[in-house]
Amino acid sequence: MKKITLLIMLLQICAVSAVMAQLEGRRFLSGGIGANFSNTNPDLDEATNNYNGNVNIGIGKFKSQTKAVGWNLTGYLGGGKSLRYINGQSEPKSGLNQYGIGVGRFWQFYKHFNEKIGIYAGPNVNASYNYKKELLTNQDDTNEQKTHATTLSLGVGAGVYYRLSERWWLDASLGFATPFSVGYTKINNDYLESTSTSKASSFNYNLSPSFTFPSVGLGLRYFLAN
């Protein structure tokens, strides 16, 4: 009985080792997309809506059986239909009002449980630019505010994978943290009723050791031919 148990354990170890050996040196592409749409239809005013979409593309390589490094490219767009009020009259305005792009470097360290399932975690460095235009209405005036934000951040993320086939993995993020970030923000204010303008800019940093868990997001990973 002991010999049979030992043989089974050795076979399991060999199976995991074989999968890990296949990973070293392999390149992969990963990605995910998301979209959201909302609509507001009040009784006494025009209907408004908001929409946004994002995409995440990564390319990486396994440097060893348990370590992968690579680059990420992210982007998003958002827009919709909103109402702005000038001299008490509402005017509809439609189109894009926000977008962003980012690039990052990641390092991932893996724990393979068997030939199908494993987990990974590791640090990342990201740089991003974001633009947003919004209408801020108060009793005195309507402010069309445009915000430009550039950010450099250090983060850490964790996830789990499931091997669908030799070429395809299903990825699921489990959580993330951004313990440090530094950025520059520029704001342009355009007051529509008074036709006045103002500008402001600031440097900012953030220290936040908290970890967001769970944070579930699904994606696919495709392994390129050797």
Question: What Å distances lie between residue 177 and 17, 106, 147, 157, CA to CA?
Answer: 31, 13, 24, 6
Closest-CA residue to 84 (of 141, 11, 130): 141
Q: pLDDT tens digit string along 85-135? A: 666 677 777 888 999 999 999 999 999 999 999 999 999 999 999 999 988
Task: pLDDT band for 8, please (50, 70, 90 cuts).
Answer: very low
Q: Which is nearest to 102 in space by CA: 68, 78, 61, 71?
A: 71
For position 59, which CATH number holds? 2.40.160.20
Cβ neighbors of 95 (< 8 A, separation 6 or more) are 79
Give the global pTM.
Answer: 0.77
Range of the domain at 91: 2-223
Placement of tokens 């390129």 in the chain: 224
- Report yes or no: 60 and 76 within 8 Å, Cβ to Cβ: no
- Residue 5: is its pLDDT beyond 90? no
Beta strand pairing call for 197-207 and 48-64: unpaired
Question: How many Å is the Cα radius of gyration of the chain?
Answer: 24
pLDDT in tens, 139-189: 677 788 999 999 999 999 999 999 999 999 999 988 888 899 999 999 999
Could you tell me what percent of the chain has a pLDDT over 70? 85
> What's the pLDDT tens digit per position in 118-127?
999 999 999 9
Answer whether residue 61 shows pLDDT above 50. yes
Number of domains the chain is built from: 1
Q: What is the pLDDT of residue 117?
A: 96
Mean pLDDT score across all residues of the chain: 85
Residue 201 or residue 44, greater confidence: 201
